[in-house]
A and B are shown apart, each in its own frame.
Chain A
Amino acid sequence: MSIVALLMLALTCLTGSNHALFQDQAGTYDWRQQYVGKVIHAMFDQSTVSGKRILVATQQNVVASLFSKNGKIAWRQIQEGNVQDSISSLLHSDNSLVSLSGHAFLRNWSPTSGYLQWEVPVNGSGKSSQAIFIEDTDEQIAVTSGNTLYVISAKTGSEKLKQSLPNSESTEYGLIYSKSDKIYLVGIAEDQHVSVVAYDSLGTIQYQNTLPAIWVKMNSQCEIFGDNLVCLDTISNTVYSTPLDGKAFKSVALSDFGFEPNQPKLVALTEDNSINSFGIIIDGENAAVLGIDAAGVKVVKDLPQATAMQVSKHPETQANVLVTVGRRSSDDIFLKLYDLATGSEIIDMSKTIHVASHHGKPQKIVVQLVKRKESLLNFRLLLVSDDHSMILLQTSGRSVWVREEALASVLSVEMVDLPVSEVQAKFDDEFGSSRDDIVAMFIKRFKTQFLQLQTFILQLIDNIQGHKHKAIFTEGHEEGDDEFELTRDNFNLNKIIVAATSVGKVFGLYSSTGKIVWRHMLHDVTPFSRYGSPMLALLVQRTTAHFPHQPQCVVIGKHKVTGNGVLSVFNPITGVPVKNTPSEGISLHFQIKQFTLLPMNDDHFIKPIAILDTNNRVYLYPENKKIMKEIDNTMYMFTASEDTNTMIGYQIKQMDDELKAQEVWAANLGQDNQVITSVTAKKVGEHVHSQGLILADRSVLYKYLNPNLVAVTTEGIDGQAKPFINMYLIDTVSGHIVFSCYHRRVHGPVKLVHSENWVIYSFYNEKNRRNEISVVEMFEGSKQSNSTDFSSLHPPSPPIVMRQAFIFPFPLSTMAATVTEKGITDKHIMIALKAGGIVEVQRQFLDARRPVIPKPEHREEGIIPYIPEIPLSFEQFINYNQSVFNIRGIHTSPSGLESTSLMIAYGLDIFFTRAMPSKMFDVLKEDFDYFFIGAVLSAMILASVITKKLAERKALYRGWK
């Protein structure tokens, strides 16, 4: 009973420290941006007023509807699974929007509201699937899921027909086409043949044929255009075509048309592929439209420089109009319209439109032609570019809105301090130089103080006039219209968020509003692949603290073509590449195996990056002889190979003016088919304020703070076919496994936070079917073996390891720990839930020392007794109702206030807020009554002066008596 009471007390005390947001605080310092991702299918909505909305399906498994007026999301539905490109078809007719996703579900959404009208599972073993409306009815949908044909009513979702396809074990039916009451299915048997099967509406085979095709591959580009099947073999760059009921393929090499193909691509000209022509992107720069007739494939129109095209019906004549776009110069794209039948250009419609160079080349267009008054043709064009951005263009050539969808695929984030204001900088400058004589210094001081006074008065006037309303974030306004001054605020709470995205586009966002300050496209950069997901590194080489030196950031990726490393060095405040570096980044002449930011500065306060290449040579960027000498023998690097599941440690040695990495240890973690699933080091430059914990008897339990420690997790399947996880803590200098633990019957994905002397990681317990979080803490004991230095080569005795596991009530997608300037404030764990919430969990709950049987000393220390569940209250959801989905990472950054940590969660959506783990202990409360306290103070001073006067007078009178 007493334990329960104690527990309740402890819980109420602790949850009290988790301050919730008040209603009027919502949105004052947090913001959310919602994205849909890279568009793969798009069409103008036909259900309401035509063209008011755009329906899109994206690579991120999202089906959404956007207002064509402002680009805002009308509704958005995120489908399950993280498989990229899994929405294979998107169909739209009057009142239905049908998506086929993940080869698992055919779903019908209401185009107006986004509500799910019905869903049908269409399970197929295959990797390819397609759905179409059966011609002329629009009431039935035919779906192939690789090995099964389904016919489904569009209205109710009821299954009309389910038919297994012939030879489906060897043939993959990925294409479907409907023509005059017949459903054609095209299947591919790799390296053998292409099968064509036709069914009638009752499910009986009407036609069956196999066309020999030894060149055909599973990933060959095959499409049905009109009544023809067209395949593109990218190895020989040959186009194969045949009528659907034909007997054999006719082949024609692309070079026969005079093209110089380089990874050509087939492009459908209409959504339903009903016309007998198709587009082809020849080499990423030029395109052509090819037509198919009885004689085979012929060139209809050569389209140099075009990279995206579509055919749209002329609203009046119903003629097919071919719309093509391509990049003309770095700042402009061109738009050309042709009559598809004659191939003649509609000259009065062609124009040049300004589209900034950072958008790259157009990739996809969706056009809607409308007839307006004066028989002029108007159009609305949705342009999807290389950088995943969506731009809606109008007839006038004006872009109505821009959506930067690259921000849905942010890979890494850093927050950089804003520079101090000009006045402040001058002030710093004054104390910086000692060369000036007294008079000059006095004049300088006078000037700066006058300037300060001036700005203060201006600010005061501004405040009085109430001009300081907040800029409200508006999604995608090209070229930031209102310039705002980028200077640091008093508490350094506003920063520039630098975000590197998977397309190689780097953004600078203003942290208080989320507005895009700058963007820079690295056209040649592609991310590395790590555990099968993309990884682009972003490092801060020089912070803003070193005035007059500008801050410097670097993005590390690899070259799209060569695979060699690329470094893009830029100023994070402006996004401008650093002087003497190309804007496309510095192309290295080697492949990057690993890299690390060195902890020491060079003479210009730049932290060099050590890059390990595949030949175990180490390069420094920027090169520096002094640092080369400094790191000789004291610098170590390690790599974990995903192929061999071994970790290798290297010592870096200087050998005749170059640095070499010499292998010093190797650890094979791949025994029993284990796979390394994560390697997590501590944050670089993490401040740990307290070196130990104070126990109830007032002795100290020193933390085991090994800066070279990394947490490695491996997953595998044991002898009883049950999954397991191993977690190793490895000293990367000596290769010593400091600690390891084994979890039976659990599987990943493991999400891990590694900070100070603890590791927190989550996994899924298969036996109990729940998510669990395990905490491991390491202590050196009551004595520090060496209080000044930490050397991994002379390590302290093995740490005391404490661990505990807890049940976490929700599936989670990622975790991070808050960081603050000095590390004095408590650390909280930010957990992004799959359901859309971000929860702030106190470390007290995730404490490995929580006792099962609490003793008085535990209470004195404030340790909560162990209970398996981690309680979550609504106040802990720091994003209140601003749900964010598919969160891939959370980045935390210190602010100028010790109490405040800045947090940005990124995934499909972006959410930014401040976290105050120990409340605002260093700031006066917002409701602090300055006026009242000021008034009381001045009244007291006044009263004391008056009473003093009165007392003196009285004493004088008394003296005279």
Chain B
Amino acid sequence: MASQQKQVSRRQIKDWSINFRGLQSKKDLALPPGFSNKGQDSVSTADATEEDTETLIVKRSWDIALAPIKQIPMNIFIMWMAGNTISIFPIMMVGMSMFRSFQAFFQISATFKMIEGSQANLQKFVFFLGNIAGVVIAVYKCQSMGLLPTHASDWLAFVEPQRRMEFSGGGVSLS
């Protein structure tokens, strides 16, 4: 939430500066009352913050990109604590982490829109990797809990009875 607010305010700053630039081009107009020339400085400071914002954007983007990876140790810890027995809480936890990772994948385009800056591609990739790692961990957990049909026994119910190639019958001779 906090990051979103910051983002919004940064955008507003940007808008303002653009407006002021527009004003600068029209110098023939009288300065509004109470307007000091210090504003000129502020233009120069605006130039300085532009670079600053850029780094900020990159930083923020990194924050977004690294968020899934940061969650991984926590996830691992929780899953380790949950144990391998199949009961409602471990299943809920595994389900949640799975669900979150998948949700992230579904919203990946929206998240990618937020990631801007020079390193955007790398960040997008890292974000993607982080989520993949989350899914992998959840799947691994499922596997260790035995929820994945990876053994021959899981497919036993679908094994058809063998077809008889020969038929035979008989018994003790009756005459």
Least CB separation from A527: chain B residue? B174
Is A610 close to B, CB under 8 A? yes
Given A691-B156, A787-B159, does the pair A594, B170 have CB atoms closer than 8 Å?
yes
**B174, A791: Cβ atoms closer than 8 Å:** no
Residue among B161, B163, B167 with most chain A CB within 10 A? B167
Once the chains are docked, how many angstroms separate the CA of A676 from the CA of B173? 11
Shortest beta-carbon distance, A794 to chain B, in Å? 8
Which residue in A530, A563, A791 is a CB contact (below 8 Å) of B165? A791
**A596, B172: Cβ atoms closer than 8 Å:** no
Once the chains are docked, how many angstroms separate the CA of A784 from the CA of B165? 16
Q: A558 contacts which chain B residues (CB < 8 A)?
A: 174-175
Per-residue contact bits, chain B 146-175, to A (CB 8 Å; 1 contact, 0 not): 100001111011011111111111111111
Q: In chain A, residues 592-626, which have Cβ atoms closer than 8 Å to a Cβ of chain B?
A: 592-599, 610, 612, 614
Which residue in A594, A642, A700, A705 is a CB contact (below 8 Å) of B153? A700
Shortest beta-carbon distance, B157 to chain A, in Å? 7
Given A690-B156, A691-B156, A692-B156, does the pair A705, B170 have CB atoms closer than 8 Å?
no
Is A110 close to B, CB under 8 A? no
Least CB separation from A694: chain B residue? B153
Q: B167 contacts which chain A residues (CB < 8 A)?
A: 598-599, 631, 634-636, 708
Shortest beta-carbon distance, B14 to chain A, in Å? 42
Which residue in B157, B161, B164, B168 is a CB contact (below 8 Å) of A637? B168
Q: A679 contacts which chain B residues (CB < 8 A)?
A: 171-172
Q: B162 contacts which chain A residues (CB < 8 A)?
A: 691, 705, 784, 786-790
Once the chains are docked, how many angstroms separate the CA of A608 from the CA of B171? 18
**B169, A681: Cβ atoms closer than 8 Å:** yes
Once the chains are docked, how many angstroms separate the CA of A642 from the CA of B151? 49
Least CB separation from B155: chain A residue? A700
Once the chains are docked, how many angstroms separate the CA of A610 from the CA of B170? 10
**B172, A793: Cβ atoms closer than 8 Å:** no
Once the chains are docked, how many angstroms separate the CA of A688 from the CA of B173? 29
Given A636-B167, A732-B168, does the pair A530, B174 have CB atoms closer than 8 Å?
yes
**B172, A676: Cβ atoms closer than 8 Å:** yes
**A733, B169: Cβ atoms closer than 8 Å:** no
**B156, A681: Cβ atoms closer than 8 Å:** no
**B173, A594: Cβ atoms closer than 8 Å:** yes
**B161, A642: Cβ atoms closer than 8 Å:** no
Q: A35 contacts which chain B residues (CB < 8 A)?
A: none
Once the chains are docked, how many angstroms separate the CA of A637 from the CA of B168? 5
Shortest beta-carbon distance, B49 to chain A, in Å? 48
Least CB separation from B175: chain A residue? A591
**A698, B156: Cβ atoms closer than 8 Å:** no
**A642, B168: Cβ atoms closer than 8 Å:** no
Least CB separation from A651: chain B residue? B166
Shortest beta-carbon distance, A532 to chain B, in Å? 11
Residue among A528, A592, A707 with most chain B CB within 10 A? A707
Once the chains are docked, how many angstroms separate the CA of A679 from the CA of B169? 11
Residue among B146, B153, B166 with most chain A CB within 10 A? B166
**B175, A790: Cβ atoms closer than 8 Å:** no
Give the contact-size bracket for chain A: 35 or more
Is A639 close to B, CB under 8 A? yes
Q: A597 contacts which chain B residues (CB < 8 A)?
A: 169
Q: B171 contacts which chain A residues (CB < 8 A)?
A: 530, 594, 638-640, 679, 681
**A638, B153: Cβ atoms closer than 8 Å:** no
Is A531 close to B, CB under 8 A? yes
Q: B165 contacts which chain A residues (CB < 8 A)?
A: 634, 789-793
Once the chains are docked, how many angstroms separate the CA of A705 from the CA of B163? 11
Q: A695 contacts which chain B residues (CB < 8 A)?
A: 153
Per-residue contact bits, chain A 687-711, to B (CB 8 Å; 1 contact, 0 not): 1101110110011100001011000
Q: B173 contacts which chain A residues (CB < 8 A)?
A: 593-594, 639-642
Shortest beta-carbon distance, A688 to chain B, in Å? 6
Once the chains are docked, how many angstroms separate the CA of A612 from the CA of B150? 50
Least CB separation from B154: chain A residue? A698
Q: A641 contacts which chain B residues (CB < 8 A)?
A: 172-173
**A691, B161: Cβ atoms closer than 8 Å:** yes
**A563, B175: Cβ atoms closer than 8 Å:** yes
Which residue in A687, A698, A732, A782 is a CB contact (below 8 Å) of B146? A698
**B175, A637: Cβ atoms closer than 8 Å:** no
Shortest beta-carbon distance, A915 to chain B, in Å? 24
**B157, A690: Cβ atoms closer than 8 Å:** yes
Q: B163 contacts which chain A residues (CB < 8 A)?
A: 788-790
Which residue in B152, B153, B166 is a CB contact (below 8 Å) of A636? B166
Once the chains are docked, how many angstroms separate the CA of A684 from the CA of B171? 13
Once the chains are docked, how many angstroms separate the CA of A560 from the CA of B172? 20
**B166, A708: Cβ atoms closer than 8 Å:** yes
Q: A698 contacts which chain B residues (CB < 8 A)?
A: 146, 151-154
Least CB separation from A687: chain B residue? B161
Once the chains are docked, how many angstroms separate the CA of A786 from the CA of B151? 19
Once the chains are docked, how many angstroms separate the CA of A476 from the CA of B157? 49
Once the chains are docked, how many angstroms separate the CA of A591 from the CA of B167? 23
Once the chains are docked, how many angstroms separate the CA of A871 from the CA of B171? 34
**B175, A531: Cβ atoms closer than 8 Å:** no
Which residue in A596, A691, A792, A793 is a CB contact (below 8 Å) of B159? A691
Q: A733 contacts which chain B residues (CB < 8 A)?
A: 166, 168
**B156, A700: Cβ atoms closer than 8 Å:** yes
Which residue in A529, A598, A700, A788 is a CB contact (below 8 Å) of B160? A788
Once the chains are docked, how many angstroms separate the CA of A49 from the CA of B151? 78
Least CB separation from B163: chain A residue? A789
Once the chains are docked, how many angstroms separate the CA of A596 from the CA of B171? 9
Q: A676 contacts which chain B residues (CB < 8 A)?
A: 172
Once the chains are docked, how many angstroms separate the CA of A649 from the CA of B162? 23
Q: B152 contacts which chain A residues (CB < 8 A)?
A: 698-700, 782
Once the chains are docked, how many angstroms separate the CA of A635 from the CA of B7? 82
Once the chains are docked, how many angstroms separate the CA of A592 from the CA of B175? 7
Per-residue contact bits, chain B 111-154, to A (CB 8 Å; 1 contact, 0 not): 00000000000000000000000000000000000100001111
**B170, A596: Cβ atoms closer than 8 Å:** yes
Least CB separation from B151: chain A residue? A698
**B169, A637: Cβ atoms closer than 8 Å:** yes
Which residue in A610, A690, A691, A782 is a CB contact (below 8 Å) of B169? A610
Given A690-B156, A698-B146, does the pair A791, B166 have CB atoms closer than 8 Å?
yes
**A790, B164: Cβ atoms closer than 8 Å:** yes
Once the chains are docked, how many angstroms separate the CA of A793 from the CA of B165? 9
Once the chains are docked, how many angstroms separate the CA of A168 from the CA of B146? 81
**A793, B169: Cβ atoms closer than 8 Å:** no
Least CB separation from B166: chain A residue? A733
Shortest beta-carbon distance, B166 to chain A, in Å? 5
Shortest beta-carbon distance, A333 to chain B, in Å? 35
Once the chains are docked, how many angstroms separate the CA of A530 from the CA of B172? 7
Shortest beta-carbon distance, B164 to chain A, in Å? 5
Once the chains are docked, how many angstroms separate the CA of A649 from the CA of B166? 13
Q: B169 contacts which chain A residues (CB < 8 A)?
A: 594-598, 610, 636-638, 681, 684
Q: A599 contacts which chain B residues (CB < 8 A)?
A: 164, 167
Q: B146 contacts which chain A residues (CB < 8 A)?
A: 698
Q: B153 contacts which chain A residues (CB < 8 A)?
A: 692, 694-695, 698-700
Shortest beta-carbon distance, A557 to chain B, in Å? 10
Shortest beta-carbon distance, A374 to chain B, in Å? 59
Could you name 14 residue pairs across A and B whose Cβ atoms are closer than 8 Å?
A: A558-B174, A593-B173, A596-B169, A635-B166, A635-B168, A637-B168, A637-B169, A679-B172, A698-B153, A699-B151, A699-B153, A708-B168, A733-B168, A793-B166
List of 4 A-B pairs having minimum Cβ-Cβ separation, nearest first:
A596-B169, A791-B165, A790-B162, A636-B168
Beyond A638-B170, A642-B172, A787-B160, 8 additional contacts (C-beta under 8 Å) are A634-B167, A638-B169, A690-B157, A691-B161, A698-B151, A699-B153, A791-B165, A793-B166
